[in-house]
Amino acid sequence: MSDIPSSAPILPPATLGMLGGGQLGRFFVAAAHEMGYKVWVLDPDPNSPAGRIADFHLVAAYDDFAALDRLAAECAGVTTEFENVPAATLDYLAKFLPVHPAAAAVAVCQNRIEEKGFLARNGLPHGPYAAIRSEDDIRIANAGLFPAVLKVARFGYDGKGQARVADRDEALAAFRQFKGEACVLEKMLALDYEVSVVLARDERGAVRCFPTVENRHRNGILDVSIAPARGSACLRDDAQEIAERIAAHLGYVGTLGVEFFVCRGELFVNEMAPRPHNSGHHTIDACVTSQYEQQVRALCGLPLGEPRQHSVAVMVNLLGELWYEGGHADGVYREPDWSVLHGVPGLRLHLYGKHHARPGRKMGHFVVIGDKPDEVLEHALKAREAIGIHGE
179 labelled binding-site residue: no
270 labelled binding-site residue: yes
- CA distance from start to end of the chain: 42
- Strands 77-80 and 15-19 turn out to be parallel
What is the spatial distance between Cα 317 and Cα 349, in angstroms, rounded to a whole number? 10
309 labelled binding-site residue: no
Helix (H/G/I), strand (E/B), else coil: 225: strand
The CA-based angle 298-303-307, given to 5 degrees, is 80
161 labelled binding-site residue: yes
158 labelled binding-site residue: yes
Q: From the CB of residue 158, how many other CB atoms can be counted at a distance below 10 Å?
A: 16
Q: Which of 224, 221, 204 is nearest to 213 (CA)?
A: 224
187 labelled binding-site residue: yes
157 labelled binding-site residue: yes
353 labelled binding-site residue: no
What is the spatial distance between Cα 59 and Cα 4, in angstroms, rounded to a whole number? 26
194 labelled binding-site residue: yes
112 labelled binding-site residue: yes
CA 254 to chain centre: 13
| Cα dihedral: 120, 123, 127, 133 (round 10) | 0
CB 49 within 8 A of CB 27: no
189 labelled binding-site residue: yes
- The annotation places the binding site for ATP at 112, 151, 156-162, 186-189, 194, 217, 270-271
- The annotation places the binding site at 112, 151, 156-162, 186-189, 194, 217, 270-271
